[in-house]
Amino acid sequence: MTIKEYYAPTHVYFGKGAEDKAGEVLKKEGATKVLVHFGTGSVKKSGLLDRVEENIKAAGIDFVELGGVVPNPRVSLVREGIELYKSEGCDYILSVGGGSVLDSAKAIGYGVYGGGDVWDFYCGKRVPEGIAPIGCILTLSATGSEMSDSSVITNDETDPIYKRGCNNDLGRIRFSLLNPELTYTVSKYQTASGSVDIMMHTLERFFHSGHTLELTDKLSFALLKEVIRWTPVALEKPDDYEARANLMWCGSLSHNGLMAAGNATLGDWACHQIEHELSAEYDVAHGAGLSAIWGSWARYVLDVDRDRFAKLGEGVFGESDPIRAIEKFEAFFKSIDMPTDIKGLGLDFDEAACKNAALGVTFQDARTLGDFKVLNTEDICNIYMMASGLK
Amino acid sequence: MTIKEYYAPTHVYFGKGAEDKAGEVLKKEGATKVLVHFGTGSVKKSGLLDRVEENIKAAGIDFVELGGVVPNPRVSLVREGIELYKSEGCDYILSVGGGSVLDSAKAIGYGVYGGGDVWDFYCGKRVPEGIAPIGCILTLSATGSEMSDSSVITNDETDPIYKRGCNNDLGRIRFSLLNPELTYTVSKYQTASGSVDIMMHTLERFFHSGHTLELTDKLSFALLKEVIRWTPVALEKPDDYEARANLMWCGSLSHNGLMAAGNATLGDWACHQIEHELSAEYDVAHGAGLSAIWGSWARYVLDVDRDRFAKLGEGVFGESDPIRAIEKFEAFFKSIDMPTDIKGLGLDFDEAACKNAALGVTFQDARTLGDFKVLNTEDICNIYMMASGLK
């Protein structure tokens, strides 16, 4: 049996006003000049950025700003961040925003430490050996990047565009300030898309080959049920603290490794790769893309282990028929206005588009995907076809 | 609202053969000479110690041994360990054993770093500002010390004997090697006692004042149900890997902070203090002591919030009547041969003994205990009386 690691060292501060800890924690961490990294303006408009910067200043810490991160964050801005961090003599990065900002911050951290071309760490040419210290103030419950080892970056300098991840324990950031109130202003669509992403981080781990630790299955069911319970509440009443708090903590625990602890492998993860191809090329919201793909993936791989689907359905919905279990998940996605096919993303895929996307996912037939079921280019094309109503 | 911290940085290696990682991990950690700390012989007899020491040697790391830790570990041996660590020029401690050995190792770590009288850190005179680096190979699922911030030491140099804890994030050790197979040889009594301890670490957190995060409640129910499911299996078949693996991971998660995450407080913890008085003075197994006390505590505090007991009962047993929920827990304890009163510990308490013990717990009426319900000396005496069949 493989020895499984569980390592989630991020120091979490959770609750109303958590962001006001920024200066204190950064000082304790020994930061003297901080690169404050953020997105395209909402943290400015809301006044959050000003408050945070005041807080840092009051702790006697200098800072420099780099905004402009977009969803599916770009390597071009990462390069800018690396230069800025170095030229300004920064010694810490503070990400203020959602997962895209944080993933961009991690990439800057790798680049600062590792020198050379930062994209090397994302296309698999080099493995990071260090990272600049990073903390975050989270404004979106979704990617789990605030406790995970993951960072996903899009290379906008190539044609076609590539979206690639770097998973490394160094990417588990030093601290995360989690105030659920900061997610009150997240739109309905982004809230729902975030919830799908949270669920998928657990579902990807749930479907794996080999030995399963029962406790991990049961924790997974508990987490999925809370996402399903609280997402409609947050959609109905965006400033419901209980809903936002539960979704936020679900997001962190779903992707910090807990939901694969003691299992034989880290999970399947084919859906994530199949989706990345869509969101890189068409800039769809990651969660919406996952929701559009998952049901087709599930039906395609179902026969590998129908009992696994039955157990999931029973644990989450009290529904032990595997097909009806898949339908329950899709019904939930629909109920929060998430798509369950590619058309629902506003995309019209024909067979050629499916083939092309499948070849993109497998790097032109150079790799397979998945662990619950290993998928080749043809399998993936079939899944795209199913999700496009062509099969 | 208070900002709640969650911090569980221990790097866990879980699975069969995890102990064989010792040399590799210690080397990565930069250890050159390790104090190998263990108990009264079982790890010698089983051959585990020899294997581990061979493994460390093969990694080019020197070591020195200190055995002799007893349940309710003694400060006298801790002092010996501090001297040995210093005189031998050690730079790492490796605990090989259960929670007592690890708690002793943590005390040595505090003493080595902090100088002066190590007991200061346990009687509250000083707060630790550092600790020697520590790793563990766990042989008992119970205390959760392998991921927790806690260490409990008994002062055998005083009369009466004191048992005191030191809770500090510095006590979260660097790495834990968790091989469930190493718990196959744990006796039925210690297995059952360990399971009670695991359950109590979650129950103590479940009963608290103020705000509760729903997800945390649901994770708590999942964990408690798995302990209840797997303990009888481990008792019936001591080498059942699934049972031992689930109990081991339940033990770690029950006490690493997860089961209080997002709640307003860290929990009640009165039962633990009420029990410590028993195990310090009469050397009873900690879990058995907790089992003997909990039902009386529960009935005594029930009216503070009957709904909380109802929710617990419903979540764990599908039993929403609060009294019957308490009875369900007691019935489970009995089913695994754990006592549900003080007589079951082999002790015969009269009223004077109860009063004396209560005064011991409150440091002669100098403190109160508890958070779900704050208890004074009289309350605690009443609980001892109830647990002794005198009320």
Reported as a single tens digit per residue, the pLDDT across B48-101 is 999 999 999 999 999 999 999 998 899 999 999 999 999 999 999 999 999 999
Give the residue from B225, B249, B256 with the most A CB atoms within 10 Å of its CB, the best one to mutate.
B249
Interface membership of A227 toward B (CB under 8 Å): no
- Kindly indicate the confidence band of residue B159, based on its pLDDT and cuts at 50, 70 and 90: confident
Q: How distant is the Cα of A60 from the closest Cα of chain B, in angstroms?
A: 22
By C-alpha distance, which of A120, A127, A42 is closest to A82?
A: A120
Cross-chain CB nearest to B15 (options A2, A17, A18): A2
Res. B232 pLDDT band, cuts 50 70 90: very high
- Whether B249 and A4 lie within 8 Å, measured CB to CB: no
- Euclidean distance between CA atoms A174 and A105, whole angstroms: 12
Provide the pLDDT for residue A283.
Answer: 76
Say yes or no: B156 contacts chain A, CB-CB below 8 A.
no
Section A164-181 average pLDDT: 97
CB within 8 Å: A249 and B13: no
Beta carbons of A245 and B262 less than 8 Å apart? yes
Instruction: End-to-end CA distance of chain B: give it in Å, rounded.
Output: 39
Task: Determine contact, residues A259/A216, Cβ cutoff 8 Å.
Answer: yes
Backbone φ, ψ for residue A56 (5° rounding): -65, -45
Question: What band does A181 get if pLDDT is binned at 50, 70 and 90?
Answer: very high
- Residue B54 distance to chain A (closest CA, Å): 20
Kindly report which listed range (A161-170, A208-217, B23-32, B230-239) carries the lowest average pLDDT score.
A161-170
| A3 at interface of B, judged by CB pairs closer than 8 A | yes
Mean pLDDT, range A188-209, rounded to an integer: 98
DSSP A57-107: HHTT-EEEEE----SS-BHHHHHHHHHHHHHTT--EEEEEESHHHHHHHHH
- Mode of pairing for the β-strands spanning B150-155 and B162-167: antiparallel
- Over residues A207-247, the pLDDT tens digits come to 999 999 999 999 999 999 999 999 999 999 999 999 999 99
Residue A3 binned pLDDT confidence (cut-offs 50, 70, 90)? confident
Supply the pLDDT for residue A282. Answer: 85
Distance of residue A56 Cα from the nearest chain B Cα, in angstroms:
18
A242 class by beta-carbon count within 10 Å (0-12 exposed, 13-18 middle, 19+ buried): middle
Taking contacts as CB-CB distances below 8 angstroms, the residues of chain B near A6 are 11-12, 14
pLDDT, chain A, mean = 96
A contacts of B246 (beta carbons < 8 Å): 213-215
Nearest CA-CA distance, residue B291 and chain A, Å: 23
In chain A, which ranges are E strands? 4-14, 33-38, 62-66, 92-97, 134-138, 150-155, 162-167, 175-178
Query: Over the stretch B294-330, which tens digit does the pLDDT of each residue have?
Result: 999 999 999 999 999 999 999 999 999 999 999 999 9
Chain B: closest CA distance from residue A203 (Å): 17
Q: In the numeric block, which tokens belong to residue A299?
A: 């039906």
Which of B16, B215, B230, B231 to mutate to test binding with chain A, by most A CBs within 10 Å of its CB? B215
At residue A43, the pLDDT reads 95
**pLDDT score recorded for residue A41:** 81
The pLDDT value recorded for residue B345 is 95
What is the mean pLDDT of the segment spanning B260-289?
Answer: 91
What pLDDT sits at residue B162? 83
Residue A285 has pLDDT above 80, yes or no: yes
The CATH architecture to which B11-182 belongs is 3-Layer(aba) Sandwich (3.40)
**pLDDT tens digits for range A287-322:** 999 999 999 999 999 999 999 999 999 999 999 999
pLDDT reading at A1 higher than 70? no
Question: Are B5 and A21 in contact (CB < 8 Å)?
Answer: no
Q: Do A225 and B218 touch (CB under 8 A)?
A: yes
Q: Which residue from A minimizes the CA distance to B3?
A: A15
Contact check, Cβ <8 Å, A18/B1: no
Q: Are A262 and B249 a contacting pair at CB < 8 A?
A: yes
Cα distance between residue A194 and residue B9, in whole Å: 26
Share of chain B above pLDDT 70, in %: 100
Identify which of A1, A7, A15 has the shortest CB distance to residue B12. A7
Q: Which residue has the tokens 């500002």?
A: B129
- The bridge status of strand A33-38 relative to strand A62-66 is parallel
Gap between the Cα atoms of B212 and B240, Å rounded:
35
Count CB atoms within 10 A of the CB of residue A153: 27
Name the phi and psi angles at A385, rounded to 5.
-65, -45
* Distance (Å) from the alpha carbon of A253 to chain B's nearest alpha carbon: 10
Chain A residue numbers with beta carbons less than 8 Å from the beta carbon of B218 are 222-223, 225-226
Q: Give which of A165, A125, A133, A126 is closest to A31, Cα–Cα.
A: A133
Q: What is the amino acid identity at position A370?
A: G
Kindly tell me if the per-residue pLDDT of B1 is higher than 70.
no
Contacting residues of A for B16, CB less than 8 Å apart: 1, 3
Residue A2 has pLDDT above 90, yes or no: no
B386: helix, coil or strand? Answer: helix
Buried-state track A182-217, b at ≥16 Cβ within 10 A, e below 16: bbbebeeebbbbbbbbbbbbbbbbbbbbebbbbbbb
Better-scored residue on pLDDT, A160 or B13? B13
Verdict on whether the full-model pTM lies above 0.80 = yes
The per-residue DSSP string of A220-233 comes to HHHHHHHHHHHHHH
Question: Rounded to whole angstroms, how far apart are CA atoms B95 and B35?
Answer: 8
| Cβ separation A219–B223 shorter than 8 A | yes
Give contacts of B260 with chain A, Cβ < 8 Å: none
Distances (CA, A) of B22 to B48, B86, B145: 12, 22, 18
Question: What is the rounded average pLDDT of the residues B34-59?
Answer: 96
pLDDT value of position B20 = 97
| pLDDT score of B41 | 81
pLDDT reported for residue B39: 96
Mean pLDDT of the B33-44 span: 94
From the list B9, B30, B12, the residue with the least C-alpha distance to B21 is: B12
Nearest Cα to Cα of residue A195 among A241, A249, A261, A153: A249
B-chain residue closest to A214, CA distance: B246
- Tokens encoding A230: 């609280």
Q: Which chain B residue has the Cα nearest residue A217?
A: B222
- Comparing A92-106, B22-36, B136-150, B272-286, the range with the smallest average pLDDT is B272-286
- pLDDT value at position A117? 96
Contact A14 B1 (CB under 8 A): no
Domains in chain B: boundaries = 11-182, 186-387
Nearest CB among A3, A7, A225 relative to B18 is that of: A3
Q: Do domains B11-182 and B186-387 have the same CATH topology?
A: no
Q: Which of B2, B242, B261 faces A249 most closely, judged by CB atoms?
A: B261
User: Any bridge partners for residue B136, and if so which?
Assistant: B95, B176
CA–CA gap between residue B31 and residue B381 (Å, rounded): 49
Dist CA A14 CA A31 (whole Å): 21
Instruction: Return the CATH class of domain B186-387.
Output: mainly alpha
Residues of chain A neighbouring B225 (CB-CB closer than 8 A): 218
Residues of A in contact with B23 (CB under 8 A): none
Nearest to A222 among B222, B245, B262 (CB): B222
Which band of pLDDT confidence, cut at 50, 70 and 90, is reported for residue B104? Answer: very high
Q: Determine contact: A214 vs chain B, CB below 8 A.
A: yes
Cβ separation A215–B221 shorter than 8 A:
no
B387 near B293, Cβ under 8 Å? yes
Check whether A113 has a pLDDT greater than 90.
yes
